[in-house]
Structure 1
Amino acid sequence: MSQRGLRVATAALTVGLSAAIGLGAGHGVAHADRPPAVNPALRPAGDPAVPPDKTERPANSNCADIVTGGDGSTIPSAQRTLDLDRAWQFSQGEGQVIAVIDTGVARHPRLPDLEAAGDFVAAGGDGTEDCDGHGTFVAGIIAASRVDGQGFAGVAPRARIMTIRQTSKMYQKEGASRDKAPDAFPDGYGTLGTMASAIVRAVDRGATVINISEVWCGPEKNVDGPIGAALQYAVDRDVVVVVAAGNAEDSCKTENTVTDPLDPTADPWSKVRVNVVPARWDDYVLSVGSIDANGAPSKFTVAGPWLSVAAPGENMVSLDPRGTSTAVGAVNQRGEQSPMSGTSFATPIVSGVVALVRARFPELSAREVMKRIQATAHAPAEGWNKYIGYGSVDPIAALTEEVTGELPPKTPTPPKNQQLAVPAAKPAPDNTARDVALIGTGVIAAALLLGYLASFPIRRRFGVAEDND
């Protein structure tokens, strides 16, 4: 590949809408609020699936190069951690349709019956072009079918993928190149409006789960009303929506304090400086953070009071959007090889587990499924925290445990000052048995001694008689 090609190749290893719509972190400090009440009137139509603007892919905007690998019988570490072989004894996601709202999903032999449900990026597209590679990576983690001799498989290998392309770093509004240098990167395309339309479209076309591995980040508070309306529409129609928490190393660079050790009882929302959408609409979504191979929160996960659960999200394996095998990463805009890491790839793990649960418990509503996923996660010591929510998702527990009661609030269990009871004084020891034993022993010893001493005169008489003889 030429040096110029390397410069313009890009891999959306975490898609950030901030770059596409000109909003993001770094616009000053502001405190976030809980999302406002949903206004259903803001819900957009899901049809037709066309970009609201004329778009173009510049001639120098080559599709991302893919780093292949991960094939063979070795089971990827994330898959081993989740113990999917055992989970598949209970469910493989049969009958579930997972909508992947992303950069498109390429047709792949391990994604049979892929449903092409529309394209909000390029006119005339159907959602199966994936120039970025990101959407195909996500779809493979969710539902890549099982193949003999291959260790990698999707979390829900018998579920079906629906693709709706909603964003791409390779596209931009038509004519945007006129004021740019010949080798400048495209602006990218995708807005909160097209995301909201894609959510509605997925619901209307029969998705049971929706995966959104892309985020918008910024301090603005009133730009996502259509997203809230679309998410409420999804949950009301019994669809579970799973979304990424965002990457601090990408489009969400501001650190959210959430819990302040100097003010531990403060409202977590009062400590938030940057909103993450759609994650902040936590009444309607499962928001997913990432953990590493040791189970610790990934350094890139954006903290927030909306975190629901976490899943493995580093050095993942998925499907190759350019071929028929597997992939482990792509090439970024600087020509650097990037691994498949990010909350983007933790999110499809949870979407896959949701599909497993929905297939095993078809009687559960969307909200009941969300509760089960959170209630059966491996909780942190404080019960909930700002990086992994209620903990690391556990497919086996989600498929087998009994879930009762309500979830605790999304706040760490506060420290408590408690005076420990003073131990009661120990009762005086009862030495009766010891004393009886000692007295008895003394009596016996004395008797033996007296008997011994009394024997001396007798032995003396006997000794004299023998001398006289």
Structure 2
Amino acid sequence: MSASLRVAAAAVALGVGVSFGLGAAPAAADRPPAVDPGRLPAGDPAAPPEPTEVGSNAVCTTVATGGDGPTIPDAQRSLGLDRAWEFSRGAGQLVAVIDTGVTRNDRLPDMIAGGDFVANSGDGADDCDAHGTFVAGLIAATRVDGQGFSGVAPEARILTIRQTSKMYQKEGANRNKAPDDLPDGYGNLGTMASAIVRAADMGATVINVSEVWCGTHNVDDGAIGAALQYAVEVKNAVPVVAAGNSDTCKTANTVIDPLDPTADPWSKTEMNVSPARWDDYVLAVGSIDANGAPSKFTVAGPWLSVAAPGENMVSLNPRGAGTAVGTVNQQGQTNPISGTSFATPLVSGVVALVRARFPEMSAKEVMKRIQATAHAPAEGWNQYIGYGSVDPMAALTAEVTGPLPPKRPSPAAQVQLAVPAPAPAPDNTARNVSLIAAGVVGFLFVLGMLASFPIRRRMGVREDI
């Protein structure tokens, strides 16, 4: 597998990606080309395109448990799910998780194992990396009495398709490795495209892809475009994909240049992110923190659709019962469940809620509704959170009319404020009458005093007493 085609999981908690074969950076990232339906891959059989093996030093990810109890996680609370669940809980929706596999769990009842593009013989219901189970739990973990955590769409079902794993590699790679070398990892854009087609063919109404390819050179991802178009326009599924994290997508996209604010955002974008860049056919999701600001790790791009909380999450434990709050590295440090990988399933859950409430809506109509009802930033759209933070309640209840504005900030507008009318002259009539009356009384008093002097003299009144 070429290093330039390896997939990087868009998460702090899991870095599936390995080194990229980067060429010279282009002046700007290219808009995706017109979709070529002839590039559509087969979704069957669900098997790696070549023999694979588990790396000789592969050790399943250690999980940090926690998050049990009645406390509702902050991300879940911020979405106002208790009110949204009065209208929909995602019943009847099948959400595909194209990821590292999903471990079976009592809180993911009736999960469908859709296949494995990583292991030679697997069904997708094995998750040594932990990433896919975290994602699935955030989408559809059922509610449990006394437990604050649950998925966004607790009555939806999960379809798991394993497409990538850092524990696997091409068969024979172990022979050329030193004893301490880690596995190469496995999964590429080809297997991702096939997994998307397979999910669509198996009836998924929502397809969650919490992994990305990113690089500063142009990549041949025509199969991804064909798979996404097929999923949306032929199979009526809604793909929801991660925007990527700065730890694996290391080149910063400017997108909006303050020195050239009216420029085409694509002309200021140096790094491509796939499948997010196919924004006609996906909801590309960024991450926000507890204060609603873009997470420091979320990758900017002209393809951003919406955002959701993506930091310090709680989800299902892939190693057993209960919940988890992170993974533990080789130094014993806990890495929280944070990343655009984990903002993405929250949006997938909201899509499942909307699809259950409005089954007559097409995939594109649902995508429009999610974006139109988000909490918009001041400029209407920006390169980190798109049209804003997803709002489940509004997505389920608001009236949506008219087209979406283009994906660029609204220009500053000059508005001539009305000149205020001059204040009316004060009415001083009462004061003037009072002053005149007081003056007249005073004047009469003085006259009276002066007139009394001659009378007092005639009566012999001495003035010096």
Q: Is this a same-fold pair by TM over 0.5?
A: yes
Where do 1:13-162 residues align within 5 Å?
13=12, 18-19=17-18, 23=20, 27-30=23-26, 31-162=28-159
Cα separation, 2, equivalents of 1:290 and 1:65: 24
Residue 25 of structure 2 contacts residue 217 of structure 2 at CA under 8 Å; is this kept in 1? Answer: no
Alpha-carbon separation, structure 2, partners of 1:288 and 1:318: 19
Secondary structure of residue in 2 paired with 1:369: helix
* Identity among equivalent pairs (%): 73
Corresponding letter in the other structure for 1:248? S
Find the counterpart in structure 2 of residue 7 from structure 1: none
Q: CA, structure 1 residues 454+364, in 2 after alignment: closer, same or farther (shift >3 Å)? A: farther
Aligned equivalents of 2:443, 2:359: Cα separation in 1: 87
Q: Conserved in 2, the CA contact under 8 Å of 1:11 and 1:132?
A: no
The one of 289, 292, 297 equivalent to 1:292 is: 289
SS of the equivalent of 2:197 reads helix
Structure 1 residues 455 and 281 mapped into 2: Cα distance closer, same or farther (>3 Å)?
farther
- The answer to whether the 8 A contact 2:98-2:207 is kept is yes
The CA distance in 1 between the partners of 2:350 and 2:71, in whole Å, is 21
Residue 339 of structure 2: aligned partner: 342
Task: Specify the alignment match of 1:387 in structure 2.
Answer: 384
Q: Does the residue aligned with 1:221 lie in a helix, a strand or coil?
A: coil
Partner of 2:250: 253
**What letter matches 1:274 in structure 2?**
M
Give the conservation status (yes or no) of the 8 Å contact 1:93–1:158.
yes
Letter in 2 for 1:205: M
**2:374 alignment counterpart:** 377
Instruction: Report deviation, 1:115.
Output: 0.5
State the match for 2:4 in structure 1.
none
- Residue-by-residue CA offset, 1:253-293 (whole Å, 9 max, x unaligned): 11000011111111110111110110011111111111111
C-alpha displacement of 1:368: 1.4
1:218 aligns with 2:215: yes
Counterpart position of 1:241 = 239
Tell me the distance in 2 between the aligned counterparts of 1:363 and 1:442.
85
User: 1:273 matched to which residue of 2?
Assistant: 270
Q: TM-score, normalised by structure 1?
A: 0.90
Which of 443-452 and 166-175 deviates more?
443-452
Q: Which amino acid aligns with 2:246?
A: A
Deviation larger for 359-368 or 408-417: 408-417
Aligned-partner Cα distance in 2 for 1:343–1:459? 105
Amino acid at match of 1:246: G
- Counterpart secondary structure, 1:91: coil
Matched, 1:181 2:181: no
Cα distance in 1 between the residues matched to 2:190 and 2:349: 26
Q: Which moved more, 1:59-68 or 1:300-309?
A: 59-68
TM-score, normalised relative to structure 2? 0.90
Summarize deviations over 1:93-123 as a string: whole Å, max 9, x none. Answer: 1111100000000000000000001100012
1:302 to 292, 299, 303: 299
| Secondary structure in 1 matching 2:60 | coil
Per-residue deviation, 1:416? 3.9
Partners in 2 of 1:234 and 1:14 — Cα distance?
28
Q: Deviations over 1:40-92 (max 9, x none)?
A: 11010111101001000023211111111111111111111112111111111
Tell me how far apart the structure 2 counterparts of residues 94 and 459 of structure 1 sit (CA, whole Å): 110
For residues 2-58 of structure 1, what are the alpha-carbon distances to aligned partners after superposition, in whole Å with 9 as ceiling and x for unaligned? Answer: xxxxxxxx9975666652xx636x543222011111111101011110100100002
State how far apart, in whole Å, the 2-side matches of 1:324 and 1:396 are. 31
SS in 2 for 1:288: strand
Post-superposition shift, 1:223?
A: 1.1
Shift of 1:362: 1.5
Unaligned runs of 5+ in 1: 1-9, 465-469
Report what 1:4 is aligned to. Answer: none
Structure 2: state its 5+ residue gaps.
1-8
The AA in structure 1 aligned to 2:25 is: V
Provide the C-alpha distance between the structure 2 equivalents of 1:186 and 1:270, rounded to a whole number of angstroms: 37
Note if contact 1:258-1:303 (Cα within 8 Å) is conserved in structure 2: yes
- Contact preservation (8 Å) 2:17, 2:166: no
Offset of 1:160 from its aligned partner?
0.5
